[in-house]
A = this chain, B = another copy of it.
Amino acid sequence: MKENEYGKTIAEGDEVVLYLDRRRTYLVKVKAGKDFHTHKGFIRLGDLVGKTFGDRIESSTGTPFTILKPSLTDFALKFPRLTQIMYPKDIGLILAYTGIGPGWRVVEAGVGSGVLTAFLANAVRPSGRVYGYEVNERFLQNAKRNLERVGLLDYVEWRLRDVGQGILERNIDLVVLDLATPWLFVQKAWEALKPSGHFVSFSPTINQVERTVDSLRKEGFIDLEAVECILRSFKVKAGETRPETIMVGHTGYLVFARKASKGDLRGKSS
């Protein structure tokens, strides 16, 4: 994400979004001599050179595509995926509920395809760091490539390691667990966090939420909140406005908590 590039002229090697409509957007790299094929004809990628973002380009069949500068979100949703990814609606809750910002030191386990990692890295840069734990080496390599592509590699340190073996960092501002059994690692999270630091876990099932919340209570976390964002998209047109007929009904639940000191009062709060 190099800054202030929106107004510039498009050059060889740039990545751009070709936008036809909301469901048909393509992330392509500008390359002279190469064609990009769509069901609406092909686009000569060399013809993009010299245009500016927001301009339109016609395919071989005369269909206009708009050229957009890819946002982090555009990139992340097009990342090569080896795992289920976390969706922007849920990432947004993490960003806004924790108040994460530049300078934060964050532990994320597991990294998966790196979508959340990218948003966390974007939020903590330039002075913060994301420590990305992942036990699957192939996932980790893919995530690295994804973060490199969006220019955020400098803000992540990778850990090919099971968090069950312990988190190496201390005085962490935020621990995010996006793995199958977050309740097993609540104690590890507690050890890594600063007092008053933030815990977040993401889980598809309500049972995972129950077990995680139970662990958090036992471990002395407070300010527990379990939430779900049901996102509705609308078809908007004067006189015909209505929610979309088919929607994603569920991605997962988020659990938030804060680290409290242990002591003889432990467990009394909820």
Contacts and interface: CB of A to CB of B under 8 A. Distances in A.
Given A7-B194, A196-B53, A245-B249, A68 B205 contact: no
Interface string A232-270: 111011111111111111111101001111010100111
Interface in A191-224: 194-198, 204-207, 209-210, 213-214, 222-224
Given A21-B269, A261-B56, A68 B223 contact: yes
9 contacts: A25-B223, A66-B222, A89-B96, A91-B96, A206-B234, A210-B241, A225-B233, A228-B234, A232-B249
B122 A196 contact: no
Of all A-B residue pairs in the complex, the 8 with the closest CB atoms, nearest first, are: A92-B92, A54-B195, A72-B99, A247-B249, A92-B96, A3-B103, A53-B196, A6-B194
Given A171-B6, A240-B207, A244-B250, A195 B55 contact: yes
A229 B89 contact: yes
Contacts of A210: 207, 236-238, 241
Contacts of A173: 6
A75 B101 CA distance: 14
A252 B22 CA distance: 22
A57 B234 CA distance: 43
Q: Categorize the interface residue count of chain A.
A: 35 or more
A252 B243 CA distance: 9
Nearest to A212: B236
B224 A209 contact: no
A4 interface: yes
A229 B226 contact: no
Contacts of A122: 99, 101-102
